[in-house]
Structure 1
Amino acid sequence: MKQIRQTMEHAELLFSMTEIDQQISQLAEQLNRDYATLNPVVLCVMNGAVITLGHLLPKLSFPLQLDYIHATRYGDKRVGGELVWQARPMTDLADRHVLLIEDIFDEGYTLKALREFCLQAGASSVGCLALVNKIHSRKQGPLPEYLGLEVPDDHYVFGFGMDVEGYWRNAPGIFAVRD
C-alpha cells in the first residue's frame, strides 16, 4: 500500500479536471451532431470508462440506451496480456448503432475485439470514443472515431477511471507515473 500511495505522491499531473471537462464537452458536441437521430446503444467499457461516461452522459442531448461491456487485457497489471471477457451487454445490439466509450486507446487490441463482438451481434455500426489516445505506432485496427486528449507513449497514465495496479481510478485528473 505504501508503494501505491507513493505512486500518487510522485505522479505528474498531465490533465486537470477542468481540461478533461473541456475535452468531454467538445466530444459531446460531436456526438450530439452525429448520433442525434440514430437511437444508439452506448456501451461503457468497464471499468476504466465509467468516470468518463458519468461526465459525458449529461452533455448528450439525444435519447439513448445504456449498457456495459467488460473485457480486459490488463487486470491489475501495467502490461497487457490475453483478452479476458468479464461481461457482455444485455441489450440486443442487432440493427442498432453502437457507441463504445473507452478510457484510453493504447494498442487497440481490446477495442478491435469489442468492435468485432458488436458487429457479430448484428450492430448496424460501431463507433468509439476514447478520452485518451496514447501516441505510438503499434496500433491495431482502426482508430476510435472520437479521440480526446493525447499522451506520449512513454507515460503510464492513471486517474479519471484509469488505474495503476488496480488503484487510483478515483484520482482527480489524469496523471503519469514517475518511476
Structure 2
Amino acid sequence: MSRPQLADALSRAELVHDHAALQAAISRMGIEIGQFLAGNSAVFLSIMQGGLVFAGQLATEIDALLEFDYVHATRFRGTTTGGELKWKRRPDTSLKERTVLLVDDILDEGHTLNAIREWCYEEGAANVLLAVLCEKRHGRTVPGLAGDFVGVQVPDRYVFGYGMDYHEQGRNLPGIYAL
C-alpha cells in the first residue's frame, strides 16, 4: 500500500491558521512565559518531532534564562491512532528542583504529554509547565491535563502542518490545515 500524498490532502484541506496568525500567537506566548518566569530559569524541553518547528521559534521569543534539551517519545510512529508509549530519548539535563517547560505542537488527548510530564516529576522537577502551539477542545483530554500556555485552538479534526504531520509529511508547512 502506498503512503497517502500530501498534495492530495492539501487539495481537500482547510487552512485554519496561516503563518502570520501562528507567528503572532508564538510571540504572545513568549511574552506570557517570560512574564511567568519573571527572571527565573527553566529547562526548555522540546518534544520531538512535532514540537521542533514551534519550539525553535518560541525559544527566541522568551525573555528568560533557558537551558535546552529535548525528549522524544511517541505513541503514533507514522499512524493516526496512538498506541503504547515508546521512549526514543530522555533528556540528559537534570530536572531536580527545576522548572521544566515542555514544548509541543499539539495538545489533543494528551496521553504522551501526560506521560512525559509525570516522568519529569518522577525525576524531581519542582514545576512542569506545558506550552503547546495548538489545543483541541473536545472533552477527551486526559483528566487534569491542560496547556499552561496555548497558541491557538484547532477544530476536532485531523490537523497537520507547522510541526504536525500528515503521514510523516508536511511538518514544514507554514500554516495549520484540517481535514
- Give the TM-score band, short-chain normalised: over 0.9
Tell me the distance in 2 between the aligned counterparts of 1:6 and 1:46.
Answer: 26
Q: Structure 2 unaligned segments of length 5 or more: list them.
A: none
Retained in 1: the 8 A contact 2:25–2:151?
Answer: yes
Number of residue-to-residue matches in the alignment: 176
- Look up the SS of the partner of 2:130 in the other structure: strand
- Equivalent in the alignment of 1:148: 151
Q: Deviations over 1:88-141 (max 9, x none)?
A: 001111111100001000001111101110001011110011110011011103
Tell me the distance in 2 between the aligned counterparts of 1:76 and 1:38.
Answer: 37
Q: Structure 1 unaligned segments of length 5 or more: list them.
A: none
- TM-score, normalization: structure 1? 0.94
Retained in 1: the 8 A contact 2:4–2:167?
Answer: no
CA RMSD between the two structures:
1.2
Question: What is the Cα deviation at residue 31 of structure 1?
Answer: 0.3
Q: Report the CA distance shift for 1:2/1:92 in structure 2 as closer, same or farther (over 3 A).
A: closer
Tell me the distance in 2 between the aligned counterparts of 1:96 and 1:82.
Answer: 28
Tell me the distance in 1 between the aligned counterparts of 2:4 and 2:121.
Answer: 44
- TM-score, normalization: structure 2? 0.94
Q: Deviations over 1:149-170 (max 9, x none)?
A: 11121x1000001001111101
Residues 1:133 and 2:118 aligned together: no
